[in-house]
Structure 1
């Protein structure tokens, strides 16, 4: 837990956030957080990996769609360039890990699909909750 606190504190400094506790997430974001927390606390660890794959796949796809590499984002440029890189394929390692676990009988296909679909729905609900 100390590691995560340290990481959060360093990001707040890097991104010039003075009062992180003042940031309030909306209902769609909280629902997404609750979904991941529920999977992490109540399912086998492999299902936490499964619940993360839609997010890991989404960001590079978004980067490709918005052509993120051709814009400058000020102090967020480093984060944008890493998170939205269309070249990012880290999710393939997660997918290979899950496929291997499935081949070994460690993943229930129906449960995995349900968790994966809920993660996708939560991503969509979160993005649709943003007022432009």
Structure 2
């Protein structure tokens, strides 16, 4: 039960922070959802750093990993919104914006995870 509560708390904090960032940044560009992009990339960086620190040694307990990686990162990032926004771009006929957003999200997301893992090694 304690583990469920940790995931619940981390997820709640991540979700509220995602909402605030998306609300603040999604209005900057007509065909690029900057807020969603930022939370997903930051989430990739965070999970790389969190899991990198856990791989490195006993820097994080199982409970800390649950609240941070599973809870916070799970609540902070959003694949469903990402998919919905891609669908909206496709149905609007914005093939270039769809492709750019899709490819940049995947490439930068993977790079952010790699950077987080690297950062954990050098800390």
- TM-score tier, shorter chain, comes to 0.3 to 0.5
Larger C-alpha radius of gyration, 1 or 2?
1
Q: TM-score of the superposition, structure 1-length normalised?
A: 0.38
More RCO (CA 8 Å, sep 6+): 2
Q: TM-score of the superposition, structure 2-length normalised?
A: 0.40
